[in-house]
Structure 1
Amino acid sequence: MQKLMRFIYSFIFYLIIPFVLLRLLWRGVRAPAYWQRWSERFSFGPALPVQQSLWIHAVSMGEVQAAVPLIRALRTRFQSILVTTMTPTGSQRVREVFGDSVWHLYLPYDLPGTMARFLARVQPRLLIIMETELWPNLLYACQQRRIPVILANARLSANSAAGYQRIGRLTRQMLASVTAVAAQTQVDAARFIELGAPPSKVHATGSIKFDSRLPANFSEKAAELRNQWGINRAVWIAASTHEGEEEAVLDAFSKLKVVFDDLLLVLVPRHPERFNRVAALCKRFIVARRSEGNINTEIEIYLGDTMGDLPLLYAACDVAFVGGTLVPIGGHNLLEPAAVSLPVIMGPHVFECAEICRQLLEAQAARQVNNGAELVEAVKIYLSDAKLKKETGENGRLFVEKNRGALERLLTIILDKTNWNY
């Protein structure tokens, strides 16, 4: 039955490959990097000098950012590290943070022959999958080659769990081949167990996003940026926004400017291929793009159209709205603004970070809104009450500080479960 399930899955995957390639071509219209390095997506090429590496897979930009503290910790212990991603933005972030100190490749498509070629070329000693990327042929191939697999910083929303439950037999087979699951919360851990992961393999270690550390000169850089904007201005950031959210944010900004005439909006779209489109939406305002460096105190909107600068932008602002929450995306990292003492505002769609959202609300470090009108009121409340803004931001910072330690717990599992000699 297990072989039959994998066969059916692989057969369907082969059938949809032409459509997958068409999607790459379509995405490449806006992001030409999708037209490059196709051979890596099918693992064609000679053997690579990355054999016997510790292998970390982080699907995209968000997962790479979450993996940064883990990769930095592992680099002090292991000489050879391979990082795979599936998107150009993830690849770019790996290069920006680590340069040539780690190897990078795209993860090939999850086809039996492709995965066999990849593992033969790379021959990793351990695979760490960030968050939850369950690929049947990848996990089966690792199991056959006795390559330990650890799900790190693993999370499983109710929607995702329901999806995996619909292919229950295949899910149980995949989870049986995993060496350990380091779940972000007890709720995530329970969902993995309910899907069939052996309880002895599942550990609630917390989110390593709590363990992200800011550079030593971070405060000075944030202060310098704030001074360029205008030191006495109120500054609101709307970050990781998606299509359908920028319109609501810009409408809210127009209404807030009636109350705060010198208000600055820092707008950071989630995906680089949308930067130009979002810039066009802002044309009725005075806009400066970070990539162009034309900052002055007259601008009304500062468009964050560079990669990897979001923590710095958060640190230079007063109040944060985190996107992917006014539209049904599920939300993004709520801890980054909380860590730099910003009150956090999110919309109703937080199913990908529901537990963190609940805890931030419980700690009185955040506020949840249902629509654009409520977003206006939430921003207005914080900008009008300096004491409340400070107390809410401090609650968030203390919440993040209190929950640090997941990284060390995860490192313990990596070393203990694999019996790695280094």
Structure 2
Amino acid sequence: MLQLKYLRENKNEALKALEKRNFKDSNLIDQLLELDEKRRKTQADLDQQLAEANSLAKEIGQLFKSGAADKAQVLKERSAALKVSSKELQDNLQEAENQLRSLRLQIPNIPKEIVPSGTSEEDNIETERAGEIPSLSEDALPHWELAKKYDLIDFELGSKITGAGFPVYKGKGARLQRALINYFLDKNTEAGYQETQVPHLVNELSGYGTGQLPDKEGQMYHVTGDDLYLIPTAEVPLTNIFRDEILEEKQLPICLTGYTPCFRREAGSYGSHVRGLNRLHQFDKVEIVRLETPERSEAALDEMVDHVRKILIELEIPYRILRLCGGDLGFTSALTYDFELFSTAQDKWLEISSVSTFEGFQSERLRLRYKAKDGSKKLVHTLNGSSLALPRVLAGILENCQTPEGIKIPKALVPYTGFDMIS
């Protein structure tokens, strides 16, 4: 959430910045600021009444001790009236705070200055392209056909067991999947990220903390009997480890990595863009999360982007990096870079990673702060990235590495797979 103090002092600046997201609801912010003014006045009145009540309590005690019971009784009546009115003010304050939170949850993060304006993915800016796109034979196959040919992934069996979007990995397909997970975790831990295993279900507070609720509740699987949510990404439990915490500056940065399955109830559609591994309801992903001071967060984002870049270079995958425009930016993000690999067999780019900084937006929701060296309490800056999402990486390897003899495994993965060819 955006801080109220920021919105009070920078309303016009905030509205101008939010235009990059095509957010132009100035009435919402006016309503929020008006309610905030009412809340602060209510708080001031309540503080005054509570102070008066405390003063009266002391005076009443002294009057009883001195034998002035009549005077004490008059003050007791005033004290009783204050108790009633202060209870009403407390109720009004709680209602105002609930309404404020509801309004604040509707306002997205402020995009950073370098975020381009735009309305959709068509307006994203390509910042880098690297890697050699292989030349495949005319009879090259898309990954779903390769998976069937070499008995690596069974999409129909997954549909039988669960439904569309839940594939079953088999034999060398399962081994390649496990190899990628271990490879990504090893690369991340070598770079200083602490491996962390987290629950695959989270409570409602965790969903609100990182911004999946109320923005994406329709995309999350909800276990209604226990009011828990299957995680859409490891970002949610990893970041919520620090909800309601006040850290010491010397603890920062905190760098974590974790492997989890991810679950997403994305709207179904048809066509090659959702075939095979292109879009799933359950998939595996290795995530990286960082907690930084505001002064270090920009450099940290660059380091995360460079980290993912090095992995893709080592895997010999042709890739490009996009800086997302305001219209394609996630609700909580201040700046996001997407990585895409080129699928030669499908002749298109496939997103395989997003690396984002949220600055203090998530921390305001999480009530996550750190105590600076000067003693002040400041919002921690949070960042996260896919390092990496497996389905499309695996699809890219199958398609781009196919040869007449079979699928050649990238050299970096051979120590993890135990084989260098699928045939």
Please, what TM-score do these two structures have when normalized by structure 1?
0.26
Higher RCO (C-alpha 8 Å, min separation 6): 2
Which structure would you say has the larger Rg?
A: 2
Please, what TM-score do these two structures have when normalized by structure 2?
0.26
